[in-house]
Chain A
Amino acid sequence: MAERPEDLNLPNAVITRIIKEALPDGVNISKEARSAISRAASVFVLYATSCANNFAMKGKRKTLNASDVLSAMEEMEFQRFITPLKEALEAYRREQKGKKEASEQKKKDKDKKTDSEEQDRSRDEDNDEDEERIEEEQNEEDEVDN
Chain B
Amino acid sequence: MADVAVGKDKCGEQRLVSLPLSRIRVIMKSSPEVSSINQEALVLTAKATELFVQYLATYSYRHGSGKEKKALTYSDLANTAEESETFQFLADLQITGEHSLLQTDGKLTVRKTRK
Contacts and interface: CB of A to CB of B under 8 A. Distances in A.
Interface of A: 1-11, 14-15, 17-19, 21-24, 26-30, 32-33, 35-37, 39-50, 52-53, 62-66, 68-70, 73, 76-78, 80-81, 84-85, 88-89, 91-93, 95-96, 99
Contact of A65 (B30, B41, B69, B109): B41
Contact of A42 (B16, B27, B48, B87): B27
Interface of B: 5-6, 16-20, 23-24, 26-28, 30-38, 40-41, 43-45, 47-58, 60-61, 69-74, 76-78, 81, 85-87, 89-90, 93, 95, 100-101, 103-104, 106-112, 114
B3 to A, nearest CB: 13
B104 to A, nearest CB: 6
Nearest to B18: A14
Contacts, number: 221
Contact of B45 (A7, A8, A19, A48): A48
Nearest to A52: B41
Contacts of A62: 35-36
A105 B41 CA distance: 28
Contacts of A43: 89-90, 93, 95, 100, 108, 110
A8 B18 contact: no
B59 to A, nearest CB: 10
Contact of B23 (A5, A10, A80, A88): A10
A99 B35 CA distance: 28
A78 B48 contact: yes
